[in-house]
Amino acid sequence: MKTRFLAGVLLALLAVPARAIPAETKPNVIATTEDLASLAREVGGDRIVVDSIARGYQDPHFVEAKPSFILKLQKADLLIVVGRELEIGWLPPLIQQSRNAKVQVGADGYLDASQGVRILEIPTGQVTRAMGDVHPQGNPHYWLDPENGRAIAKSICDKLSQFRPADRAYFEQRLAAFGARLTEAEKKWLALMAPYKGIKVVTYHRSFANFADRFGLDIVGYVEPRPGIPPSPSHTLDLIQEMRRQNIKLILVEPYFDLKTPESVGRATGARVLVMPPSVGGVKEAADFFALFDYNVTLLADAIKAAGK
Ligand SMILES: [Zn+2]
């Protein structure tokens, strides 16, 4: 009798059309950044609920922890992180305080998006955070290469399919559509940047390594002496000399850094300071993963053209 009853319940559950999944039973996905949230939306469509923790206009290394973040993590079925120690300064205590077993490091509901992507600047010697360097496991800003975006979306698709096997075909179809759209967009972005291949620039933080690698920028210096270390007078003087020597006319600055030092370097060298968002949500125009590249590629191409290169 009991078995028949359970079988009946199971059949009834199976009979529920996928479209009719009520919101409360959709996997609740929390991404640490808006970039990962955007990619999760591309794959998950209306079969998941997505929210993010850090805003795109914040420095993702140094996010101020808020009680609301713990609440988000308490309700999460899946947590997607950038990894490579990007969030190590703020995320571990939040995960711990959420007391949500599903999203603890190593649990099924914890996805490190850096698996399977191309990581640049992996240190060969000894680098520790004790030295103040916030990139001890290579450059964690890897989402700024569309090809890495493709790999991240694939990881998310695999994980969501594991959570909701019945929706696998839906997620895979959305992943394929995303991939096709990305291929077209990437052609357009590469064509826009092609005339400026090899152009030398300086950036504030090492946020644009993957972007530069994909789109042919040559980053020859940084306003920070080391990743995560504020500018120092001696480093700034060295940078000015190097920029004069190599005739560098562009300084890219993430929206969350103070413009004082970049602007003084700009005045000393005749270089233009360009605020360029490394993340979705960094400026209002960069509303999703595609819009972020649209915005940055156009911004750069226009600035280089204006500089007469
Ligand atoms: Zn960084």
| CA terminus-to-terminus distance, the chain | 80
Alpha carbon distance 110, 73 (integer Å): 11
Distance from Cα 108 to the centre of ligand 1, integer Å: 27
Q: How far is CA 254 from the centre of its chain?
A: 13
Distance from Cα 83 to the centre of ligand 1, integer Å: 11
Distance from Cα 153 to the centre of ligand 1, integer Å: 21
DSSP letter assigned to residue 216: T
Alpha carbon distance 76, 98 (integer Å): 9
Distance from Cα 84 to the centre of ligand 1, integer Å: 10
Distance from Cα 173 to the centre of ligand 1, integer Å: 33
Alpha carbon distance 39, 148 (integer Å): 11
274 pairs with which residues across the strands? 252
Distance from Cα 226 to the centre of ligand 1, integer Å: 10
3-state SS assignment for residue 26: coil
Distance from Cα 15 to the centre of ligand 1, integer Å: 48
Alpha carbon distance 31, 52 (integer Å): 5
3-state SS assignment for residue 218: strand
List the helix and strand counts (H, then E) for the chain: 10, 8
Alpha carbon distance 1, 224 (integer Å): 71
Distance from Cα 26 to the centre of ligand 1, integer Å: 33
35 by Cβ neighbours in 10 Å (0-12 / 13-18 / 19+) ranks as buried
pLDDT for 207: 98
Q: Is the CB of residue 253 less than 8 Å from the CB of residue 273?
A: yes
Packing angle of the helix pair 67-74, 91-98 (nearest 10 deg): 50
Which string of DSSP letters, residue by residue, matches 69-90? Answer: HHHHHHT-SEEEE--TTTTTTT
Alpha carbon distance 151, 212 (integer Å): 18
Distance from Cα 8 to the centre of ligand 1, integer Å: 54
Distance from Cα 85 to the centre of ligand 1, integer Å: 9
Distance from Cα 188 to the centre of ligand 1, integer Å: 27
Distance from Cα 273 to the centre of ligand 1, integer Å: 19
Q: Say which residues have a Cβ less than 8 Å from residue 239's Cβ, sequence separation at least 6.
A: 202, 221, 222, 223, 265
- Mean pLDDT, 10 residues at a time, over the chain (309 residues)? 52 48 80 98 98 97 95 98 96 97 97 97 79 87 98 98 96 98 98 97 98 98 95 97 97 98 98 98 97 98 85
Distance from Cα 210 to the centre of ligand 1, integer Å: 12
Distance from Cα 95 to the centre of ligand 1, integer Å: 21
Give the global pTM. 0.91
| E strand segments, the chain | 28-31, 49-52, 78-81, 110-112, 200-203, 218-222, 250-253, 272-275
pLDDT for 124: 85
pLDDT for 15: 47
Q: Is the CB of residue 256 less than 8 Å from the CB of residue 58?
A: yes
Alpha carbon distance 81, 79 (integer Å): 6
Alpha carbon distance 299, 71 (integer Å): 37
